[in-house]
């Protein structure tokens, strides 16, 4: 890649930041060039983010339909999955899965709600609602 070919496409995913890439300058030497982004990077980043957002939206629909607890929505919104939420809270996977059931979640003691809220970076009140 030549220095003048370094993409400067203003990726939304970089939010105004510039990332460093290496490119060949006119003297034939490689050097660090700040880049505003390449559309290719934006496509694959947005793809990954949108996949996570889609999972959160589907979970929200399930919560509203009474099929799942708000915990599932917050798990995906924090870009986690069952495995990571279990590791982050130190709870067994089967327990976390059980807490995804609305009836079980509704009876969840405050201590456990706090643990989930802490791991997901939301308040205890917010954890109770899928929004």
Partner 1 sequence: MPEAFVHAHASHCESGVMSSLLRHHGLPMSEAMAFGLASALSFAYLPFIRINGLPLVSFRMPPRAIVKGLERSLGLSMRFETFRSPSDGMARLDALLDAGKLVGLQASVFWLPYFPPDLRFHFNAHNLLVYGRERDEYLISDPVGETTVRCAREDLKKARFAKGVLAPKGLLYFMTKPPLTPDWARLGRRALARTARIMLAPLPLIGVRGMRLLARQIERLPLADGGERARLYIGNIVRMQEEIGTGGGGFRFLYASFLQELAAKTGYSALDALAARLVEIGDRWREFALAAARMIRGRDALAPPVLAAHLRALSADEKLFFQNLHRAQRAWAL
**Total interface residues for partner 1 by CB under 8 A:** 44
Contact 85, 40 (CB under 8 A): no
> Whole-angstrom Cα distance, residue 67 to residue 22?
50
Residue 50: CB atoms within 10 A of its CB come to 11
- Piece of 47-55, 64-72, 101-109, 122-130 that binds partner 1 (CB under 8 A): 47-55
> Whole-angstrom Cα distance, residue 62 to residue 77?
14
> Whole-angstrom Cα distance, residue 72 to residue 34?
39
Contact 61, 33 (CB under 8 A): no
- Piece of 39-47, 64-72, 92-100, 122-130 that binds partner 1 (CB under 8 A): 39-47
Q: Is 21 an interacting residue with respect to partner 1 (CB under 8 A)?
A: yes
Q: Is 84 an interacting residue with respect to partner 1 (CB under 8 A)?
A: yes
> Whole-angstrom Cα distance, residue 26 to residue 45?
31
Q: Is 46 an interacting residue with respect to partner 1 (CB under 8 A)?
A: yes
Q: Is 38 an interacting residue with respect to partner 1 (CB under 8 A)?
A: yes
Q: Is 41 an interacting residue with respect to partner 1 (CB under 8 A)?
A: yes
Enumerate binding residues for partner 1 (CB under 8 A). 1, 12-24, 28-32, 34, 38-41, 43-49, 51-52, 78-81, 83-84, 87-88, 90, 119, 121
């Amino acid at each position: 890649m030549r220095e003048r070919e370094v993409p400067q496409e203003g990726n939304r995913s970089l939010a105004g930041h510039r990332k460093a890439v290496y490119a060949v300058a006119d003297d034939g030497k490689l050097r660090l060039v700040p880049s505003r982004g390449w559309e290719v990077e934006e496509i694959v980043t947005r793809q990954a983010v949108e996949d996570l957002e889609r999972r959160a939206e589907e979970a929200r629909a399930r919560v509203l339909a009474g099929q799942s607890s708000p915990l599932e929505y917050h798990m995906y919104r924090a870009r986690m999955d069952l495995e990571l939420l279990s590791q982050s809270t130190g709870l067994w996977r089967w327990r976390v899965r059980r807490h995804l059931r609305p009836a079980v979640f509704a009876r969840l003691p405050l201590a456990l709600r706090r643990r989930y809220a802490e791991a997901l970076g939301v308040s205890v009140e917010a954890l109770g609602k899928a929004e």
